[in-house]
């Protein structure tokens, strides 16, 4: 499956016609958003905790370089190794070198967007290292040869029936429509993989600087198995994930669980500080933390730094009218929805993801849902400004003319009267108060929905008559 953000429009049109995808999205996003609202409403003062969480993330970003060094010192003191990766290639090569050093041939992986971002699994496969995803959603994605379509629910794009058919084909599962039975079948298959694995790979939801702990928050227990059963554990984590203290973590954990899955608390919260210490019966013999930059330093130094405060809860995806209509694959990128529309152009280069900042109605629902209050609509607007030069010249001219007209009252008056008269005439011809076909370039609107005829009397005229 191709991943190209610049094909957003083409992919969105395909997605809108896909009945199964539409069914899956309606169920998936609707349920997730209701659960989030209910879980947040249980808090005595949801806004207070959101602001507390935001403050924790911004404090972490303010001191980012110092906190990363503090975490590094702590991990080294506990016998772990820390490797810095400037980009995807360096991160992948670090993992490969570790595999070669310890003669690792087969690995298991828990859910991680950072490894998805750098294309780690295809890279390792190319070098003869076999990897198995162990998060159920990611495992389904791997079996189907696809990509995750949601930060938290990687198979948001699939219906239960599609997953059943996939398991029957790839895992020889006997027919069942029961989700518990399907999960049990996958779990039985995966259980063997942990025992056969030479190493485990994880991401990290947070790095806590004061103790140098990498924390993962999961619901399936696969993360714990991946990181403790095999003799080598490699964690690949973005540099922005560092936070100062466990106290900050206590706040952010509540927000992540409630906003991500609508739970008061995830089933598993695991923290790793390094390899197993002498006398400890469990844990890996070797622990590596790869700190991934891959464009984050550039974002940090820009006016978009706030985007790095994201805790990857997925709430903005579930509420976004665009994501809810087209799903994640249309974005052609690892990070989708409103946060993806902001960070994909920043990570990949704006020209390589030019349509994404425009994939928003700017309704503001994403910022309202965001547990750390990231100003996503504001950043989408700034990206649109930055991308103006890449726009169709005709569009640019049109917008300039529109802006000029809107800022000159006489032109606005004449223009709005002419537009009203033209729409009324089109409506009369169609015998309706909705116009279903407008000439180019306005046809972009009526290709997908009707346009309402303006009332015969303009609001300004009514106001002057009645409220003078
Ligand atoms: S931007 Fe906010 S709502 Fe969206 S994934 Fe990040 S933290 Fe969650």
Buried/exposed code over 63-94 (b: 16+ C-beta within 10 A; e: otherwise): ebeebbebbbebbeebebbbbebeebebbbeb
Q: Assess if residue 385 is contained within a domain.
A: no
pLDDT for the residue 431: 84
Q: Assess if residue 321 is contained within a domain.
A: no
Tell how far the Cα of 376 is from the centroid of ligand 1, in angstroms: 9
Residue ending a domain, among 297, 319, 340, is 297
The verdict on the CB of residue 309 being under 6 Å from ligand 1 is no
pLDDT for the residue 430: 79
Mean pLDDT value of segment 137-159:
94
* pLDDT tens by residue, 31-49: 999 999 999 999 999 999 9
Is residue 219 scored above 80 in pLDDT? Answer: yes
Closest CA to 357 of 373, 376, 334: 376
- Ligand 1 pocket mutation pick from 311, 318, 380 by most atoms within 8 angstroms of CB: 311
CB 200 within 8 A of CB 234: yes
Q: Assess if residue 153 is contained within a domain.
A: yes
* pLDDT tens by residue, 89-134: 999 999 999 999 999 999 999 999 999 999 999 999 999 999 999 9
Query: pLDDT category, 69, cuts 50, 70, 90?
Result: very high
* pLDDT tens by residue, 394-418: 878 888 898 999 999 999 999 989 9
Query: pLDDT category, 383, cuts 50, 70, 90?
Result: very high
Is residue 390 scored above 80 in pLDDT? Answer: no
Range of the domain at 146: 5-297
Q: Using only C-alpha atoms, what is the Rg of the chain?
A: 25
The verdict on the CB of residue 316 being under 6 Å from ligand 1 is yes
Q: Assess if residue 313 is contained within a domain.
A: no
For residue 120, the domain's CATH number is: 3.40.50.10420
Tell how far the Cα of 372 is from the centroid of ligand 1, in angstroms: 7
| Residue 295 CB neighbours (<10 A) | 18
Residue 358 CA to chain centroid, in angstroms?
A: 17
Q: CB neighbours of 312 closer than 8 A, spacing ≥ 6?
A: 113, 151, 152, 205, 260, 339
* DSSP bridge pairs for 225: none
Q: Is 332 helix (H, G, I), strand (E, B) or coil?
A: coil
Q: Are residues 89 and 204 in the same domain?
A: yes
Matching residue, tokens 């809810």: 324
Tell how far the Cα of 312 is from the centroid of ligand 1, in angstroms: 5
Number of independent structural domains in the chain: 2
The verdict on the CB of residue 308 being under 6 Å from ligand 1 is no
Q: Are residues 409 and 289 in the same domain?
A: no
Mean pLDDT value of segment 227-243:
97
Closest CA to 225 of 103, 332, 107: 107
pLDDT for the residue 441: 77
> Pick the residue with more confidence: 322 or 392?
322
Tell how far the Cα of 254 is from the centroid of ligand 1, in angstroms: 14
Q: Assess if residue 236 is contained within a domain.
A: yes
Q: What are phi and psi of 327, to 5 degrees?
A: 75, -175
Kindly tell me the burial class for residue 261, based on how many C-beta atoms sit within 10 Å of its own C-beta (0-12, 13-18, 19 or more). Answer: buried
Q: Assess if residue 334 is contained within a domain.
A: no
Tell how far the Cα of 270 is from the centroid of ligand 1, in angstroms: 22
Q: Assess if residue 354 is contained within a domain.
A: no
Atom in ligand 1 nearest the alpha carbon of residue 313 = 8
CB 380 within 8 A of CB 330: no
What percentage of the chain reaches a pLDDT higher than 70? 99
Q: CB neighbours of 169 closer than 8 A, spacing ≥ 6?
A: none
Residue ending a domain, among 297, 330, 362, is 297
Q: What are phi and psi of 461, to 5 degrees?
A: -70, -45
The verdict on the CB of residue 152 being under 6 Å from ligand 1 is no
Tell how far the Cα of 186 is from the centroid of ligand 1, in angstroms: 30
pLDDT for the residue 398: 84
Is residue 1 scored above 60 in pLDDT? Answer: no
- Ligand 1 pocket mutation pick from 49, 152, 312 by most atoms within 8 angstroms of CB: 312
Query: pLDDT category, 245, cuts 50, 70, 90?
Result: very high
| Residue 404 CB neighbours (<10 A) | 11
Beta strands in 80-173 (DSSP E): 81-85, 106-109, 130-133
Distances (CA, A) of 220 to 89, 185, 189, 311, 315: 30, 14, 14, 19, 20
Q: Is 132 helix (H, G, I), strand (E, B) or coil?
A: strand
Residue ending a domain, among 238, 272, 297, is 297
151: its two tokens: 């930060």
């Amino acid at each position: 499956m191709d991943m190209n953000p610049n094909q957003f429009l083409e992919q969105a049109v395909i997605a809108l016609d896909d009945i199964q995808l539409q069914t899956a999205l309606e169920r998936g996003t609707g349920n997730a958003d209701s659960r989030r609202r209910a879980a947040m409403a249980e808090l005595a003062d949801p806004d207070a905790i959101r602001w507390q969480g935001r403050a924790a993330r911004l404090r972490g970003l303010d001191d980012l370089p110092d906190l990363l060094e503090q975490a590094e010192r702590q991990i080294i003191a506990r016998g772990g190794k820390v490797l810095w990766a400037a980009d995807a290639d360096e991160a992948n090569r670090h993992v490969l070198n570790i595999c070669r050093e310890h003669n690792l041939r087969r690995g298991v992986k828990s859910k991680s967007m950072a490894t998805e971002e750098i294309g780690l699994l295809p890279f390792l496969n190319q070098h003869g290292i076999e990897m198995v995803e162990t998060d159920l959603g990611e495992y389904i994605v791997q079996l189907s040869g696809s990509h995750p379509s949601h930060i938290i629910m990687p198979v948001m794009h699939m219906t239960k029936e599609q997953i059943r058919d996939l398991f029957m084909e790839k895992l020889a599962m006997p027919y069942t429509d029961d989700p518990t039975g399907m999960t049990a079948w996958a779990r039985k298959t995966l259980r063997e993989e942990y025992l056969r694995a030479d190493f485990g790979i994880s991401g990290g939801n947070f790095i806590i600087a004061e103790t140098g702990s990498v924390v993962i928050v999961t619901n399936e227990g696969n993360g714990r198995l991946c990181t403790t059963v095999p003799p080598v554990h490699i964690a690949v984590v973005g540099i922005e994930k560092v936070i100062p203290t466990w106290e900050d973590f206590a706040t952010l954990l509540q927000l992540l669980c409630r906003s991500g899955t609508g739970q008061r608390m995830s089933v598993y919260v695991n923290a790793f500080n390094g390899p197993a210490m002498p006398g400890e019966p469990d844990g890996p013999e070797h622990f590596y933390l790869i700190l991934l930059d891959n464009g984050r330093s550039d974002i940090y130094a820009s006016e978009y730094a706030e985007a790095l405060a994201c805790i990857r809860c997925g709430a903005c995806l579930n509420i976004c009218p665009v994501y809810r209509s087209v799903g994640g694959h249309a974005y052609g990128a690892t990070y989708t929805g409103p946060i993806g529309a902001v960070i994909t152009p920043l990570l990949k280069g704006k020209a390589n993801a030019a349509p994404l900042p425009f994939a928003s109605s700017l309704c503001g629902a994403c910022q309202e849902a965001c547990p750390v209050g990231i100003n996503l609509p504001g950043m989408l607007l700034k990206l649109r400004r930055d991308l103006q030069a890449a726009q169709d010249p005709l569009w640019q001219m049109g917008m300039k003319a529109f802006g000029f007209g809107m800022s000159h009252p006489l032109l606005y008056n004449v223009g709005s009267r002419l537009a009203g008269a033209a729409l009324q005439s089109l409506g009369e011809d169609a015998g309706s108060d909705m116009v279903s076909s407008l000439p180019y370039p306005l046809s972009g609107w009526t290709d997908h929905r009707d346009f309402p005829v303006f009332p015969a009397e303009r609001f300004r005229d009514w106001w002057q008559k009645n409220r003078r």
